[in-house]
Amino acid sequence: MTPTNAIDWMRTKNSNESWKITNISKVESYGYDLSVSWKFSDFETKVLYSSNYKNFDIPEDKELKYIENYPKNSLSLILFLPKIFGIESSITNIYKVYTKTQPKEFLLTSVSLSKTISNIKFSFSIENLFNVKYEEIPSIQQPPFGMFLQIAYR
């Protein structure tokens, strides 16, 4: 796929000049996704893998601010545990490798629990369980450890 007219901030590499909005005439993007899932007894596991490659038609002395940063590789492992007392639970691990952010690679772990009682579903989740410091957009720190409670009526 080759989108045209992508827009990003551009400047000369290793300079202090201001970023300028620029129309990038050619961006080549390639990639693939793989997904495998299996069930063993009361356990269910999903593995997802994604690989991306992008090529930008820009002068060699220039750099782009945002679109040059993308996840080159992403590997997810989701484990659905057996129900205990009617509580559904899962553990998700996501390993990502980015092109420009700091750190370039990181592992995020999340845990979720949910139980439905009558028409009400209670869900509790912990995201970024190990409080990993990471960026998905250059220079923008992503949320730290967080706990969430959701109550939904059906």
pLDDT, one tens digit per residue, over 68-120 is 888 999 999 999 999 999 999 999 999 999 988 889 999 999 999 999 999 99
> Quick check: pTM over 0.95?
no
| Cα–Cα dist 130/126, whole Å | 10
SS3 call for 59: coil
Q: What percent of the chain has pLDDT over 90?
A: 67
- Give me the residue spans of the domains in the chain: 30-52+68-153
Residues 41-50, mean pLDDT to the nearest whole number: 95
Q: Is 67 exposed, middle or buried (0-12, 13-18, 19+ CB in 10 A)?
A: middle
Whether residue 95 contacts residue 107, with contact meaning beta carbons closer than 8 Å, is answered with yes
d(CA 35, CA 75): 10
Question: Which burial class, exposed, middle or buried, applies to 114 when counting CB atoms under 10 A from its CB (0-12, 13-18, 19+)?
Answer: middle
Q: How far apart are CA 29 and CA 54, in angstroms?
A: 4
**Residue-wise pLDDT tens digits, 12-39:** 998 899 999 998 878 888 999 999 999 9
